Homo-oligomer: A and B are copies of this chain.
Amino acid sequence: MDATEFRRRGKEMVDLIADYLENIEQRPVYPDVEPGYLRSLIPEEAPEEPETYEDVVKDIERVIMPGVTHWHSPYFYAYFPTANSFPAMLADMLSGAIGCIGFSWAASPACTELETVMMDWLGKMLKLPEDFIAGTHGQGGGVIQGTASEATLVALLAARSRAVRMILASDPQRPETGITSKLVAYSSDQAHCSVERAGMIAGVRMKKIPTEQSDKYAVQGETLRRMIKEDKAAGLIPFYFCATLGTTPSCAFDHITELGPICNAEKIWMHIDAAYAGSSFICPEFRPLLNGIEFADSFNFNPHKWLLVNFDCSTILCRNIVFLLNRLFHLTRGTHWQIPLGRRFRSLKMWFVFRMYGLKGLQDYIRKHVELAKEFESLVRADQRFEISADVVLGLVCFRLKGSNEVNETLLKRINNGRKIHLVPCQLSGQFVLRFAVCARTTESRHIREAWRLITQLAEEVMQELPH
């Protein structure tokens, strides 16, 4: 395929994409296939001779679409949102064509530099403290990672490096080997599994801090203080605490204004994982949720979740730690702050999206999702058979039928088997809970009401089947 054919096929693909997204709500949101469905639909080996583009394109509907979970359907309420916007897609097309690999400044100066400036734009949108902004001389700033998993791992590695260096500085005779096995990291028992996994990868102890429903699943300062004290008494070295703002199960918020000073006093690196909720902090009314950031060493969230920048675009912002990450990875500013060395020109997506929506457009989008969640919450609250399981702060509603876990499990199974809407569950204090997350860019009030109509209809069926 040469550039001339690409002009034709590319335009056809643009139409295919527009058709797909315009008509997505007509598709069943959750696929009706069994594991292994795809293998029998295509050959066992790559072809020897080229096939035509027509052959390939017609297989999109035959092979791929039957097995797609349609994350951008307005009837998709599972997990958390993943971003999808036209400006981001256009920028990503350009990124693919430029196809530079930004592993150093010289490998493509524009790639490194636009990223540094976009992270400053982001930091200012979030009203972060000055030392999280690179500017022209700053020690802080940010970098784009692929995912929050990588961001929390990078933060933990930087914390490990700082801890080892501090220990050696205070006791130069101490052998370096063995220090790591004494280090202990903390996070909430509500934290994302990738936080624990980061500890496994780095080979450090990782302790989960228990939370309670009565505390709205927030880590309590008292609990953290007690665990630190016990671990120090046992000869361990607390070095890292990952706070979560907006947990995956219920969108709970750790109280970083209380936890931050404890970490600072103990020289524990405080990292904040706000993968989902972070985007909302661009709205003044949600920004107080980030109060306490001034005690943190690093902060990550995913514009690719809720800020209209297509995956992958997970951002980490740090203060005064360039030198640490540089020593860890021997690097120059704005590059290599990550596990992979290669990287796409991902900041183009941020640039296109921020400019074409403007801060106001992005705020409107966040607010609309929160309003839709509140609308769903009202519908649930108005129905005596249901209960709300956690405070609705942003775009997630945790709810359940009053009754057993079993009846709720049956309800969820019925909902997903219907394939008209898609939800996933969570466990909260031993209860099986349904999570309703407003996800798609195109979700409107009518979709929320239709979803609720389906849920209540299925709930009635399920309850009628219950033994009396």
Contacts and interface: CB of A to CB of B under 8 A. Distances in A.
Contacts of A153: 201, 339
B31 A3 contact: no
Contacts of A16: 94
Contacts of A55: 355
A110 B18 contact: no
Interface stretch (A119-127, A367-375, A407-415): A119-127
A180 interface: yes
A357 B136 CA distance: 47
Contact of A109 (B31, B60, B72, B113): B31
Interface stretch (A99-107, A427-435, A444-452, A456-464): A99-107
A79 B348 CA distance: 23
B117 A39 contact: yes
Contacts of A147: 340-342
A403 interface: no
Interface stretch (A7-15, A166-174, A293-301): A7-15
A312 B344 contact: yes
A42 B125 CA distance: 16
A344 B18 contact: no
A341 B149 contact: yes
A382 interface: no
A122 B45 CA distance: 8
A199 to B, nearest CB: 11
B341 A194 contact: yes
8 contacts: A9-B90, A10-B17, A10-B86, A11-B11, A50-B356, A50-B361, A56-B352, A312-B342
Given A63-B110, A180-B203, 12 more contacts: A6-B14, A7-B14, A7-B15, A10-B14, A35-B105, A35-B109, A46-B359, A49-B360, A66-B110, A146-B342, A147-B341, A193-B341
